[in-house]
Structure 1
Amino acid sequence: MTTLTPANISLAPKVLLHDHLDGGLRPATVLELAHEVGYDALPADENGRQIDDAETLGRWFRRAADSGSLERYLETFSHTVAVMQTAGALERVARECVEDLADDGVVYAEVRYAPEQHLEGGLDLDQVVEAVLRGFAEGEAAAAERGRSITVRCLVTAMRHAARSREIAELAVRYRDRGVVGFDIAGAEAGHPPTRHLDAFEYMRANCAPFTIHAGEAFGLPSIHEAIGFCGTDRLGHGVRVFDDIELPAGVDLAAHSFAGARLGQVANIVRDKRIPLELCPSSNVQTGAVESLAEHPFNVLARLRFRVTVNTDNRLMSDTTMSKEFGLLADQFGYGWADFERFTVNAMKSAFIHFDERLAFIDDVIKPGYAVLLG
């Protein structure tokens, strides 16, 4: 069996379902695009001077995101979104996203973004989507030239505090055979319940199109209940607070290998019974205050109780993370090995929004052979 080390983890095939395009820029790209478009509101260093080097800017994003508040965490996106207002910038960011994921061993990814946030430079919604899809295609081709095979599809996201969700849902359906595989709502949960966007979800269901909903991150169990019971979501973006509906035996260690005797409430049961995928993002969940620390993250409880857990990055820039880093953190905290990561990866592939035959091909031809080598 191959030793589980950071270098070897990077070789494992990975599937990523929850990654934000505007949360994964390279710090150097943020700086270069800011200069190109004349964006002069980048953050300042401790001396009050605007940051002008990539390493310092990367550290600033990580520190700013370590607030313990989802609302403050989301404020960091004002800088990345500001430099993504032209077709060229969107295309570049999308291309680099694919290249970075491929270099980390990701073989399939669904990357999401909110087209409505990229209209200040005069683009319309369709032009935004087309620019991102061009970038994804260019990134796939560039990765292939380096011997890295990756497929990237996108989810278009509506901002839950705005009123364009039906329009964005229509956009998702319009482009669903051209690289867009689903729909999402995102943004601050408190005060913006998913039921405000029922029209969009009904439109998706009427067109036999899948969607996920950010729920159970900052606002807890009620948002999960609404996302499932009223909106009919196919997946849960984060969904970490489903743990609030699970009663564990007294004194149990969250790193245990068994949680016999755990009692599930109605919401937790339906999530598990219906195999509703949880798009868990360990590092991000700590940063936004969804959990206090990685040691207190319910990932292991959910995994051992056989919820359909998946591992995700959320925002690679803000969390200074990769899929390999997330795997490594989970291995260190909960003692996972290759067989566990194979299961989490198969979970993710089963939950992808591409068609069944495509999912099965990834599992049989890419994921299982890749892990067979690592398992020896």
Structure 2
Amino acid sequence: MDFSINYLDLLKYCYGLGSFHGINTLEAARNRLYTLVRNLKDCCLLLDCPHNSEDCHMHDVVCDVATLIASKDHNMIIVRDDDGLKERLDVDVLKRCKELSMHGGDFHELPDEMECPELRFLYVDGGDHSLQIPDTFFQGMERLEVLDFTQMQLSSLPLLRNLLTLCLDGCVLDDIAVIGKLKNSVVLSLLGSQISKLPKEIGFLSHLRLLDLSNCSKLEVIPPNVLSSLVALEELYMGNSFVRWEAEGLNNERNNANLPELRHLSHLTTLEIHIPDASNLPKDLLFEKLERYVIFVGDVWDWSDKTKGLLQLKELEIRECSIMGAIVVKEGEIEDTDMILFPKLRCLALRDLPKLISFLSAQNSFITAFGEIISDGKLDFYVPILHE
């Protein structure tokens, strides 16, 4: 069976490991990553995912060879099942191990202690949330830089001061206030986790570059001024997540985050949020460096398919954007299945858009070896704006 991985996960790992020397910003790291992935695809070592443009595939034969090379030349251990776990985690092998990946969801227990003085990357997939972590498990992992726990139940977290990337995707989370002590962290991902309140201590992560709260559907409380404290943040993902934005200018003490806090995030290049009440949207909320965004306004949107919400759209106004060339942009070629109709649209206002030449376009771009994104400028008007 083919192996697949998400581009954003790759970015989280590579940035935390410092894989791209001389690159400081997430945007530059993203461009460099896309260049490497494109080169691997040109060599047929990676494949496009036919159903999801956000993932890439690796053929099982290529995956087996890559695993063997990683094991022999880079001191990486990959364990897929409980079978052979103790044999693979030999004491001498662990002392040399730099990356350890345990996944498959069939583990019944983790070792009480692992002496891994060289370990920099640890991935554990708990499968069904039943896997328990011994209190002494992290002893001997002082150099750990990237930690990814997936599908696990966590009552607490260890204090790993050198940790740069922390991913707790799909986890059941209790007390994670210790995250606020991970002062050097640059990536924090809680994607799909069961958490109702974001700890206020996250506001202490002044070096954080990426925060992923996507699909945290139970998240109802983000304490005031937590988001505004993340002044280095470049990418913020909150799709299908927090929606309880408080209104601006409330006289009483706030209990939740409000949208004006985002004004302090001057480095944002990526933003995904949902704003159910348009009256809470500040008129002067500007992001000069924004490159990618998904901003849903209103209560009719469906994050599971971002185009379905367009079927309910009744009013659309876009104004004062000097760089917008198309309303909807699709990477790659446009096909007949890409028709997007607006059967309920009654009001369309497009103002001060000097470069707008198309509604739906195919914008093919490539990334040079220097990380520069270059577009071939192909913008083709393809579909009718309104349903007849």
TM-score for both structures, normalised by structure 1:
0.33
Higher helix share: 1
Higher strand share: 2
Larger Rg: 2
